[in-house]
Amino acid sequence: MTSSQEISPGLVVQRFTPPLSLRDFKLIAFDMDSTLINIECVDEIADAVGRKSQVAAITEATMRGEIADFKESLRQRVALLKGVPVSAMQEILEKRLQLNPGAAELVSACKAAGMKVLLVSGGFTFFSDRVRDRLGIDFTRANILEVQDDLLTGKMIDQAWGDICDGAEKRKMLLLTCGELGIEPSQTIAVGDGANDLPMMGMAGLSVAYHAKPKVREQAMVAINTGGLDRLLEVVTAYVPDKAAALDLSVLDELVGNDATKFRKFALLFLSSLEDVLKQVDEACDQGDMATLAAMGHRAKSTAMNIGAAEFSHQCLQLEQTAKARDTAAAIAIGSSLRPMFLGIRAAIEQRLAT
């Protein structure tokens, strides 16, 4: 396929013929602001000092590619943040920042396929570190805001790799990570929305624009214009774990006395119950809600055992224990692993019900 084609509403592909498989890739790289998360952090910080419209206008022009020098653009915007208290950033983190729809599901599917995950951001470590922990991301690169007396100075701190993570640095980090993993750039997926994402997207085997600026949509191999990040799984098929290893349906057969009608009824009931649990787990992972993760792990472990999903049940037990121990990063990583396992369980049950 060379010309672009809308394969379903709001999902456009060009220069390849879908579907591909996640198993063909080893690394996925994400931009953060307006890609993995719902906000432009620099704009929201500026809101604390009444300068959001001024900063947002520069951000928008930069992301559209109308301002070529990203580094200078960012320096100008950060200078306008002088005097913002760290507490204002914490409030943004707690009350405004959310993962974009489908982010947790896509990252989970990639990790289930054995892929590593890279976050490269022209934003700030104050936020990217939290997103990394929520999603269990393997590699990150972002900018550090200078702080004195709990106030932003309007400057950034140079790091060992350089001063600012711009488009060239995103490309460099993608290549460095490929080298560390011993893979080729053709084995990577890069996802972004702005002009500064194009250098890394141009190196990747598959480039994905998410609710992106026109210039980015035009150059990307996949453009997700409506819906969540997990719409990529309509183009790149997810890895479904070995169904035989994931499920022993003889457990449910024994529970219902080998009654086919009861088997169908209870199997569908169990699937519905687990789906409800996973929705709450996804939301709790987004919010870092350990109490809900512990409760959902406890609820799901016995349900899973009743349908013979011993491995899934064990993961739910691990989720309950790590969440109770307040090990946020581990609990979120376990919670994110449940959905791809559930896909294997559901596929096996649906196959059984179809016979």
Q: Where are the beta strands (DSSP E) in 35-176?
A: 116-124, 139-148, 151-157
Per-residue pLDDT at 183: 97
Q: Would you say residue 239 has pLDDT above 70?
A: no
Tally of CB atoms within 10 A around 41: 26
Say what the pLDDT of residue 248 is.
Answer: 86
Residues spanned by CATH 3.40.50.1000 within the chain?
5-237
| Whether residue 340 has pLDDT greater than 80 | no
Per-residue pLDDT tens digits for 287-326: 889 999 999 999 999 888 888 888 888 889 989 999 999 8
Q: Helix, strand, or coil here: 141?
A: strand
Residue 244 has pLDDT above 60, yes or no: no
- Among candidate residues 31, 166, 193, 286, the one labeled active-site is 31
> How many other C-beta atoms can be found within 10 angstroms of the C-beta atom of residue 21?
11
pLDDT of res. 108? 82
- At 243, is the pLDDT very low, low, confident or very high (cuts 50, 70, 90)? very low
- Give the 3-state secondary structure of residue 189: strand
Higher pLDDT, 239 or 230: 230
pLDDT in tens, 150-189: 999 999 999 999 999 999 999 999 999 999 999 999 999 9
- Predicted confidence at residue 134, as pLDDT, reads 85
Which among 24, 33, 150, 253 is annotated as catalytic? 33
DSSP code string of 236-295:
EEPP---HHHH--THHHHHHTTT-HHHHHHHHHHHHHHHHHHHHHHHHHHHHT-HHHHHH
Q: Which CATH architecture has domain 243-354?
A: Up-down Bundle (1.20)
State the distance between the two ends of the chain, measured CA to CA, in whole angstroms: 37
* Per-residue pLDDT band at 38 (split at 50, 70, 90): very high
Percent of the chain with pLDDT over 90: 64
User: What superfamily does domain 5-237 belong to in CATH?
Assistant: HAD superfamily/HAD-like (3.40.50.1000)
163 is catalytic: no
- Edge-first strand listing for the sheet containing 5-8: 5-8, 11-13, 222-224, 206-210, 188-192, 27-30, 116-124, 139-148, 151-157
Question: What six digits make up the tokens of 304?
Answer: 């899973």
33 part of the active site: yes
Mean pLDDT for the chain overall: 91
pLDDT digits (tens, 9 = 90+) for 59-109: 999 998 888 899 999 999 999 999 999 999 999 999 999 999 999 888 888
- List where CATH 1.20.120.160 sits in the chain: 243-354
pLDDT at 2 over 60: no
